[in-house]
């Protein structure tokens, strides 16, 4: 595919975008969970279940706040920024009007997702009476993208940013899907996640297509240079440092004895995702490298060999 073959999804957006089709979601005042247990393993830890099971809802509400805070940062500071520059033709890579129009729908969707997330935060505070503990000012991408860009020559920075956002927009999908399948969770929360997922399906294809258009036109030297930076980006993107710091902060806020704090911290340490080929996001990342055609390039296969042993056998 090249830029002239690009087909806009504007009509699908008109018919299906959640900002066009969905009513406001209201948090139910019922006994169901506000956040899936599977997404906050701390509350499933033996120490937690033994010492402070009554604090489960507090921990889950705080975990929802962290998730919402992450969504707002991701949408408004990461995706919005890149999509807006593409839409306004302020991007080093030139795209036809149809791409730029679709990029503007992504801006609208993402800002709307941030708004819906903030609405949900407000409703949950009002319903639970629980104020958020101090939430992180950054997400992993807030560090990973600048770290990668710092290694790129000036003329490749926007291309690299496109690839990084493309990867990120292809990983959110499964992350959000985990919510939508869990029947112990409030329907409004599941609905919120399902809405978001519907829009993200469109986005993941959008970023893969733009990346494909760019990659097909990139020179061999530029491809090699970009591929060599990918491991630096993935290392910082797939770290669990921020989540761990949040979990420690959450533990510190629990009204339990000091030895319980210590035992909980130790359990959280053991739960951390190791960065290897089993990381839950890696299969999505591999799919993006395939759909963007980047994985056809030996330099990309080589750069990813450490993360994606399947990248080789997949070809």
Residues that bind Fe ion (CB under 5 A): 110, 113, 169, 200, 203
Residue for token pair 């760019």: 214
Least Cβ distance, residue 75 to Fe ion (angstroms): 5
Q: For Fe ion, give the closer residue by CB, 108 or 135.
A: 108
Least Cβ distance, residue 79 to Fe ion (angstroms): 5
Least Cβ distance, residue 110 to Fe ion (angstroms): 5
> How does DSSP classify residue 278?
T
Q: For Fe ion, give the closer residue by CB, 37 or 108.
A: 108
* Residue 21 CA from chain centroid, whole number: 23
Least Cβ distance, residue 20 to Fe ion (angstroms): 15
Q: For Fe ion, give the closer residue by CB, 102 or 110.
A: 110
Residue at shortest CB range from Fe ion: 203
Alpha-helical runs (H) found in 129-219: 140-149, 157-180, 187-217
Q: Which of 275, 298, 278, 295 is nearest to 287 (CA)?
A: 295
Least Cβ distance, residue 169 to Fe ion (angstroms): 5
DSSP per-residue string spanning 5-72: G----HHHHHHH-HHHH-PPP----SSSBSS-GGG-GGGGSHHHHHH-GGGHHHHHHHHHHHHHHHHH
Q: For Fe ion, give the closer residue by CB, 16 or 32.
A: 16
Least Cβ distance, residue 55 to Fe ion (angstroms): 31
Q: Read off the tokens for 212.
A: 């494909």
Q: For Fe ion, give the closer residue by CB, 156 or 192.
A: 192
Q: Is residue 184 packed enough to be buried (19+ CB in 10 Å), middle (13-18) or exposed (0-12)?
A: exposed
Q: Are 218 and 140 in contact (CB under 8 A)?
A: no
> How does DSSP classify residue 130?
P
Q: For Fe ion, give the closer residue by CB, 100 or 223.
A: 100
């Amino acid at each position: 595919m090249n830029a002239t073959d690009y087909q806009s999804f504007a009509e699908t957006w008109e018919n299906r975008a959640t900002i066009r089709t969905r009513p406001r979601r209201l948090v139910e005042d019922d006994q169901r969970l506000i956040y899936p247990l599977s997404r906050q393993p701390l509350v499933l830890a033996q120490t937690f279940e033994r010492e402070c099971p009554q604090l489960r809802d507090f921990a889950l509400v705080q975990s929802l706040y962290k998730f919402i805070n992450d969504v707002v940062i991701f949408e408004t500071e990461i995706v919005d920024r890149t999509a807006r520059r593409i839409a306004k033709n302020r991007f080093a890579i030139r795209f036809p009007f149809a791409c730029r129009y679709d990029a503007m729908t992504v801006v609208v969707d993402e800002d709307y997702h941030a708004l819906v997330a903030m609405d949900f935060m407000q409703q949950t505070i009002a319903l639970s009476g629980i104020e958020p503990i101090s939430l992180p000012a950054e997400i992993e991408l807030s560090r990973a993208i600048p770290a990668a860009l710092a290694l790129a020559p000036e003329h490749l920075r926007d291309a690299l940013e496109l690839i990084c956002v493309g990867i990120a927009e292809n990983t959110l999908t499964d992350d959000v899907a985990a919510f939508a399948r869990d029947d112990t969770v409030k329907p409004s929360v599941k609905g919120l996640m399902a809405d978001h997922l519907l829009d993200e399906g469109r986005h993941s294809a959008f970023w893969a297509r733009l990346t494909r258009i760019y990659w097909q036109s990139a020179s061999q030297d530029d491809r090699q240079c970009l591929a060599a930076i990918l491991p630096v980006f993935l290392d910082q993107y797939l770290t669990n440092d921020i989540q761990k710091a949040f979990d420690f902060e959450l533990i510190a806020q629990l009204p339990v004895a000091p030895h319980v704090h210590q035992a909980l911290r130790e359990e959280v340490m053991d739960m951390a995702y190791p960065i290897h080929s089993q990381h839950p996001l890696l299969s999505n990342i591999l799919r993006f490298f395939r759909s963007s055609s980047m994985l056809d390039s030996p330099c990309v296969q080589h750069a990813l060999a450490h993360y994606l042993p399947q990248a080789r056998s997949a070809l």
